[in-house]
Amino acid sequence: MGRLGEPAFRAEQLYHWLYVRCERDWDSMTNLAKPFRQRLADTCAIGTLTPDTIQQSQDGTRKYLFRLSDGQVVESVLMHFQERDTYAVCLSTQVGCAVDCSFCATGKLGFKRNLSVSEIVEQYLFVQHESEKEVRNVVFMGQGEPLLNLPNVLPAVHLLNEAAEVGMRRMTISTSGIVPQIYTLAQEALPITLAVSLHAPNDAIRGQLMPINRKWPLAELMPALHHYVEKTHRRLTIEYILIDGLNDQAAQARELGKLLHGLRCNVNLIPYNPIHQQLPGAPMDYRRSRPSAVDRFRQIVSDYGKKVTVRLERGADIDAACGQLANRL
C-alpha cells in the first residue's frame, strides 16, 4: 500500500476483505474509495484459479474443477454434514499424485507438480465465497500426498488459521505414511488432526494396496505414529478402506486391533468407492464390502478399545467421494 501511495490501514482493510470475507470483486469492497478500487482493478488480480466446472451431488456435495495458471487442473470438494449443520472443504495439495494407491483414481493420473501455498489457500477462499456458506472445517484429503508437499502445506495451514480464521483443531492433514515427514510434522506440534491411510493390518496386503508401503513398511510407520502422538498429544485418525474379500475379514480386524494397541487413535472405516474403469490401472475386481462385513469389522476393532466410525459417503454420484477425484467431468 505504501508503494501505491496509500495509507497503511488500507492493507488491513484488504486483508479482511480477501481472507475473512473471501471477496473476489473489487467493487464489493465498499469501505474502499471508488478511485482506489478502480486502481486495484487495473493493477491487481485476485487469485489465479479459474473454475472450469462446478457439479452438485444429490446429497448436496459440490465438486469444483479448477484450472491453474499453467493449464493444469485440480479438484476440491465442499461437503455438508446435515446432522451437525456444518460445512467442510476438501483441498488438494498436488496436481496428480505419485503414491499411486491401487484403489485411488488420483494416483492413476501420475504426479504433475506440487501446488503453491496460494493455490492451496485459494481453493478454500473460492469455495467459501462461491458457496456463501460458513466453511469452518478444512481437510487436506484431496488430490496428492500432503506430506510430500509439506513446505507449502504448512504455510497454507498457518495462513488459513491466522488470516481466514479457520481453527487449527478444525483442520485435518491426511497421509499415506511418509515416515520422515511424519517426524517433521511432529516437531511442529500443531493442534491439527493427522489422518493416516493404513488400509491393511500387515505388509502383505498393504503393499498390494499401497506401493509406498514397500519404502516405509509398518515396522517403520508404526513407531513414527507413536512418536507423533507422544510429541503432539493429539489423537490420530486411522483411515481404513474396506474392500470385499481383500482386507475386510474378521481375522484382519483382529490383526488391526492388535497392531493399534497402545496407540492413541480413532478408526474411520471407509467403504470402497469404485473408480472409472477407463482410467489406466484401475482395479477391475475391487468391490465394496457387504454391510454385514463392515458391521462385523467395526465391532471387532471396537472390542479392542478403539472408537470406530463408518464414513458416511458423500458425492459418489459425481465422483467426489474418497478415492474418486480424477479431474474428470
Q: Which of 136, 189, 188, 193 is nearest to 164 (CA)?
A: 136
Return the axis-axis angle of helices 117-131 and 150-162, rounded to nearest 10°.
Answer: 40
> 281, 235 in Cβ contact below 8 A?
no
User: Per residue in 201-237, is it b (16+ CB within 10 Å) or e — as a string?
Assistant: beeebbeebbbbbeebbbeebbebbeebbeebebebb
Selecting among 75, 119, 122, 239, the annotated active-site residue is 75
- C-alpha grid cell for residue 137? 472445517
Catalytic, 75? Answer: yes
> 320, 57 in Cβ contact below 8 A?
yes
Q: What share of the chain is helix, strand, coil (3-state, %, to 5)?
A: 40, 20, 40
Catalytic, 322? Answer: yes
E strand or H helix at 95? strand 94-96
Longest CA span, the chain: 70
Coil, strand, or helix at residue 6? coil
> 32, 290 in Cβ contact below 8 A?
no
The four Cα atoms 112, 113, 114, 115 give a dihedral, to 10 degrees, of -90
For residue 154, CA distances in Å to 76, 78, 173, 315 come to 18, 21, 10, 28
> 227, 179 in Cβ contact below 8 A?
no
What amino acid positions are annotated as catalytic residues?
A: 75, 322
